[in-house]
Structure 1
Amino acid sequence: MTLDLLLTEGVKVLTEAGIEEATLDARYLLFEVFHTDMTHFLLDRGRVISEDDQVLDQVKQYRLMIEKRSQRIPLQHITGSREFMGLEFYVNEHVLIPRQDTETLVELILKDYKGRKPVILDMCTGSGCIAISLSKIGGFDDVAAVDLSKEALKVAKRNADVLLGPGRITLIESDLFQAIEPKSRFDIIVSNPPYIPTEIIKELQPEVRNFEPMLALDGREDGLFFYRQLVSEGRRFLNPGGSIYFEIGYDQAESVSALLEDAGFAEIRVVKDAAGLDRVVCAVMK
């Protein structure tokens, strides 16, 4: 048995299961299990691997991971991690897997508030990737992160403890603003809320619709339910001149901008992601 043969075996299983990036996923899992990289793989791919207990366990683990991936379980759930903003986040089935699209949201806030010390509220935090990245990279030390899910908050706490240290951000279990202290005021409210219309969810890839939390996906009938709540309730928690930042679906810029305008927000901007799609809407409270 060689690493090359193991990779070929994995690619075949994933291809037959209809995985679009079968080669990439099989290679990633192989590298993960055998603690190697492309350079060392190319050097060692044809070498017969030993059959000691440790290596046999690695082979067994690799095949188990391939089997899970063939069942359309997301790669990140199998490995338990996802890179976001250059940081490694723990993820599981209780949180939305961080996407590169969301980096557009974080990067915009880092740019807009460079050299400043805003008080930040991250609503629908999930894995904590937004709040933690802002605190870690921006040096913002007054960040609160909110989620309705107890299990999601456990994931966010684990990530915060590892990447920031215990107690660096405040984690709050709340149905949107319900448990937020009424006198609290923030300079920034940021959110990547559930924004997929209910009927569209059934059309998503199996990895998303079957394995990612519905609570983090379902934006109700038109996908705008949570934007309406965040806009209408968020005003009273913002300091004068405070800003609100939303990740949006590629076709929601006009609708979300209209909600902000109707609520009296000014300086409304739409920012595109790396693919050129509308991805962020932000505005300032008058």
Structure 2
Amino acid sequence: MSFTLDSLLIEGTKVLSEAGVEEASLDARYLLFEAFHTDLTHFILDRFNAISEDELILNRIDQYRSMIEKRSQRIPLQQITGSREFMGLEFYVNEHVLIPRQDTETLVELILKDFKGSKPVVLDMCTGSGCIAISLTKLGLFECVTGVDISKEALSVARRNVEALLGTGGITLIESDLFEAIGPGQKFDVIVSNPPYIPTEIIKGLQPEVRDFEPMLALDGREDGLFFYRQLVLDGRRFLNPGGSVYFEIGYDQAEAVSGLFIDAGFAEIRVVKDAAGLDRVVCAVLK
């Protein structure tokens, strides 16, 4: 039987559609490009040409079908390919870290804007893949950035991304339950975090890709989704320089609650910033 790229795409799309994958055609095409090391331009030119059936091509077909099978099990696309683009940079990801989202770019872009031309000392709490810390270091040329996570496995991913995108040095990575392992004398100009903020009960209703395959440590914000914000606001004060700033990613409906935590803790200049979709996405504040 002869194959074409088009016939393989149709085959993969059908499998993913039957599995309930929302963007079945798009995901099948992405995996096809990954397996055959091609792009949209070459696909359009070659899609109806019969594929030679030498060993290399047959191995690529097997690889494609294997990836389609994984995606049909609702394993996230980025975990299958092992990569995710964020802020124009390519990050390695696996099942131990939250897959970077475009929403989080709003958080990074705001800090880059607010500290353009500055060299703030930054703490990225719950660093995960390191996407925030690395983006600030590489794009903002920040020279002193620390990433913290409770997960050894997540820190291993972050370390791999640091080496790939920054080389040696540039970011300090620390295993810690929030501020537990941070020295009492350490001070930062900026504390940034995309903490777990989804209420536990809500997680049950999320898409299988998130609920079943992304790390619960990075998702579960406890009963009301605010557990980690409370800890970060109250404990973070001790680690901020005077006039230091805190930046949090939030859920679309958490702006008022998180702003209230800042007010109660004595912070000032509280701002709520929307993402590209017009939803509340970041709350930031300054220590008086």
On whether the aligned pair clears a TM of 0.5, the verdict is yes
Please say if 1:114 is aligned against 2:116: yes
Task: Indicate the residue corresponding to 1:157 in structure 2.
Answer: 159
Unaligned runs of 5+ in 1: none
Task: Indicate the residue corresponding to 2:245 in structure 1.
Answer: 243
What secondary structure is seen at the aligned counterpart in 2 of 1:130?
helix
Taking the aligned partners of 2:168 and 2:232, their CA distance within structure 1 comes to 28
Count of aligned residue pairs for this structure pair: 286
Taking the aligned partners of 1:92 and 1:20, their CA distance within structure 2 comes to 21
What secondary structure is seen at the aligned counterpart in 2 of 1:236?
helix
Taking the aligned partners of 2:121 and 2:94, their CA distance within structure 1 comes to 29
Residue 278 of structure 1 aligns to which amino acid in structure 2?
A: D
What does residue range 22-61 of structure 1 map to in structure 2 within 5 Å? 22-61=24-63
Taking the aligned partners of 2:10 and 2:262, their CA distance within structure 1 comes to 52
Report how far residue 279 of structure 1 moved: 0.1
Report how far residue 250 of structure 1 moved: 0.2
Q: Deviations over 1:104-134 (max 9, x none)?
A: 0000000000000000000000000000000
Task: Indicate the residue corresponding to 1:208 in structure 2.
Answer: 210
Report how far residue 168 of structure 1 moved: 1.5
Task: Indicate the residue corresponding to 1:139 in structure 2.
Answer: 141
Residue 149 of structure 2 aligns to which amino acid in structure 1?
A: D
Taking the aligned partners of 1:209 and 1:15, their CA distance within structure 2 comes to 20
Task: Indicate the residue corresponding to 1:220 in structure 2.
Answer: 222
Report how far residue 167 of structure 1 moved: 2.1
What does residue range 1-286 of structure 1 map to in structure 2 within 5 Å? 1-286=3-288
Taking the aligned partners of 2:70 and 2:164, their CA distance within structure 1 comes to 27
Taking the aligned partners of 1:160 and 1:136, their CA distance within structure 2 comes to 10
Taking the aligned partners of 1:227 and 1:20, their CA distance within structure 2 comes to 32
Q: Deviations over 1:58-85 (max 9, x none)?
A: 0000000000000000000000000000
Q: Deviations over 1:21-66 (max 9, x none)?
A: 0000000000011111111101000110111100000000000000
Taking the aligned partners of 1:223 and 1:155, their CA distance within structure 2 comes to 25
Q: Deviations over 1:157-188 (max 9, x none)?
A: 00001100122200000000000010000000
Report how far residue 207 of structure 1 moved: 0.2
Aligned CA-pair RMSD: 0.4
Taking the aligned partners of 1:128 and 1:99, their CA distance within structure 2 comes to 13
The normalised TM-score by structure 1 is: 1.00
Taking the aligned partners of 2:49 and 2:130, their CA distance within structure 1 comes to 42
Unaligned runs of 5+ in 2: none
Q: Deviations over 1:244-270 (max 9, x none)?
A: 000000000000000000000000000
What secondary structure is seen at the aligned counterpart in 2 of 1:187?
strand
Residue 52 of structure 2 aligns to which amino acid in structure 1?
A: S
Identical columns (%): 80
Taking the aligned partners of 2:143 and 2:62, their CA distance within structure 1 comes to 44
